Amino acid sequence: MHTQQPNPNFQGSSQIPDQFSHGGHEIFDAEEAIGGLVGGMEQYLLYEQHVQDPELKTMLNKHKTYLTQVYNSLVQTFKTGQEPTVKTQTYNFSQDTNNTIYGMQQPPQPKTPAQSVNEINDECITGFMMGCLKANASAFTMAALEATNPVVRRAFADSIPNIIEMAYEVFLYQNRNQYYQVPQLKQEDMQAYMNSYAPVQGQMPTH
């Protein structure tokens, strides 16, 4: 009977120091996700000087502060393979603004790309912010899915809901200012889609 000998190149996680307990795909995707976060933070820095509305400036600075903490925690976890000093904090925004306005309040005007920096306005900036947050949420999701180190995986995964919340805050601001209008389907069409699935009947299996 042939007994397979263990490959000396294979090492269990218990044999590898925490700071090196990362797979190759994890390293690449984590580096890309953290690099994308850096790019987003630097873009926020550029946008700040062009913001006109004090409410938007407050939101942007709150995002910058939160993202800086996310960055520091991710870098520490990535470098050490261990829990960061500051664990993931929950991002909250004022719930009294949590109200989407549905329907087209006014016909959207045709847009063209800005031809000078002077044309960059608050509507442009909210679009830039949303783009950064969507890119970060996608990159963090991919990094979490590729992570073999459980602490790194959790650090990325726990940050995703907070980035989604930040993007929702930007959306509500856009919607309130008619930068982003939300058309709806006819009620009967909406109802047809909503009723297109039914729950599974009977006892759900327990194992």
CA distances from 38 to 18, 32, 108, 139, 145 (A): 24, 10, 33, 12, 20
Picking from 153, 125, 143, 185, the residue whose alpha carbon sits closest to that of residue 13 is 153
Q: Which residues contact 69 (CB under 8 A, 6 or more apart)?
A: 86, 89
The per-residue pLDDT for range 139-174, each reduced to its tens digit, is 999 999 998 888 889 999 999 999 999 999 999 999
pLDDT of residue 17: 45
Give yes or no for a contact between 160 and 137, defined as CB atoms under 8 angstroms apart: yes
What residues have CB less than 8 Å from 29, skipping those under 6 apart? 139, 142, 143, 146, 147
What's the number of CA atoms in the CB half-sphere (13 Å) around residue 57?
A: 8
**Ramachandran sector of residue 202 (left: φ over 0; alpha: ψ -120 to 50; beta: rest):** left
pLDDT at 74 over 50: yes
160: helix, coil or strand? helix
Band the pLDDT of 93: cuts 50, 70, 90. confident
163 in Cβ contact with 137 (< 8 Å): yes
Which stretches within 49-98 are classed as H helix? Answer: 54-80
- What pLDDT digit, counting tens, does each position of 94-107 carry? 766 678 889 888 88
DSSP code at position 148: -
Cβ proximity of 125 and 49 under 8 Å: no
- Give the separation between CA 174 and CA 182, rounded to whole angstroms: 10
Encoded tokens for 197: 């699935």
State the pTM of this model. Answer: 0.84
Looking at residue 126, its amino acid is T
Closest CA to 128 of 207, 65, 39, 190: 39
Is residue 112's pLDDT more than 70? yes
Q: Give the chain's domains with CATH numbers.
A: 18-93+122-194 (1.20.1260.10)
